[in-house]
Structure 1
């Protein structure tokens, strides 16, 4: 998969990049702001985006998620330390990973979502660390 990382903390962005590459996926870019993320989306195909809710230009992650999902059909996973700020409709994101992130939690979530993107469901159980949106849980036939 092609993965876009939208994270304004450079150390965390680097860690996410390493994890994505360790799983055998391609990182198409790293952006720290909504503008940067949307610009990268225009020039590269992205299957999955890891999007922080609060970026360098404010609480713009929900706007990025909705745009990536609706305009580019990318699947989005929010990464945040404030899961209560995720809108009820998840802004079209498939789910949320709550910070601090462990390497295993990120790997499990990406692998699970990759299976679901590829087949429309997952043969493996949903990772406990991934909070799925009700819409995606129904689409992928898994429990929230």
Structure 2
């Protein structure tokens, strides 16, 4: 199972550009395939992020690449973690009451407006029609009708709201990475969330 110590270790020792140079050929069917040592590294990284390594290497790399690109390396976080240029209106959707409260306090302390927190996708979806949102912080596994993936798709396709997934379900996050601008893996700290928000703003996903 994923933990923050393993994540820090892999992040500090891995450059995404280096990994893409080694493994992207798997996705294109390149005849230059990674060697045995590289394949062992790929399987090891997949297990650290709680992904199923007992699949074709191209499938493993596709999911791992999505996680790494959305989660961001420590180097990328340091470079892009400038404060947002203006206060944001952020929806919080998290069915753990303690985590929802901490997120709300964190965002308010940073000067952002908070819509929520909501514990169910249906209530959050209704609220999205009533507020102008800059961003949504969204758990993938939610109680009630509908899950976080369905809600993320609704927010993105209906209202154009960028989503940051907050989750320990790395496989689900990887499978649905196209719906999110960033990924914060549980357990996380406040700095991880604020860095992900800063990266999302820096990417241009949030309207100026």
Task: Provide the TM-score with structure 1 as the length reference.
Answer: 0.75
- Offset, 1:73: 0.6
Match of 1:139 in 2: none
- Offset, 1:116: 2.7
Note the aligned Cα RMSD (angstroms).
2.0
Q: Which has the higher helix share?
A: 2
Mapping of 1:122-137 within 5 angstroms? none
Q: Which has the higher strand share?
A: 1
User: For residues 59 and 83 of structure 1, do their structure 2 counterparts lie closer, same or farther at Cα, with a shift above 3 Å needed?
Assistant: farther
Task: Provide the TM-score with structure 2 as the length reference.
Answer: 0.53
1:51 to 112, 131, 138: 138
User: For residues 28 and 119 of structure 1, do their structure 2 counterparts lie closer, same or farther at Cα, with a shift above 3 Å needed?
Assistant: closer
Q: Which stretches in structure 2 are left out of the alignment for 5+ residues?
A: 1-87
Match of 1:35 in 2: 122
Q: Answer yes or no: is the 8 Å Cα contact 2:120–2:143 preserved in 1.
A: yes
87-96 vs 59-68, greater mean Cα deviation: 87-96
Q: Answer yes or no: is the 8 Å Cα contact 1:83–1:96 preserved in 2.
A: no
Match of 1:76 in 2: 163
Task: Number of aligned residue pairs: give it.
Answer: 120
Match of 2:172 in 1: 85
Q: Deviations over 1:32-72 (max 9, x none)?
A: 01101101101111110001011112771000001001101
Larger relative CO (CA 8 A, sep 6+): 1 or 2? 2
- Offset, 1:112: 2.0
User: For residues 95 and 102 of structure 1, do their structure 2 counterparts lie closer, same or farther at Cα, with a shift above 3 Å needed?
Assistant: same
Larger radius of gyration: 2
**C-alpha distance in 2 between matches for 1:61 and 1:77:** 11
User: For residues 97 and 58 of structure 1, do their structure 2 counterparts lie closer, same or farther at Cα, with a shift above 3 Å needed?
Assistant: farther
Q: Which stretches in structure 1 are left out of the alignment for 5+ residues?
A: 121-144
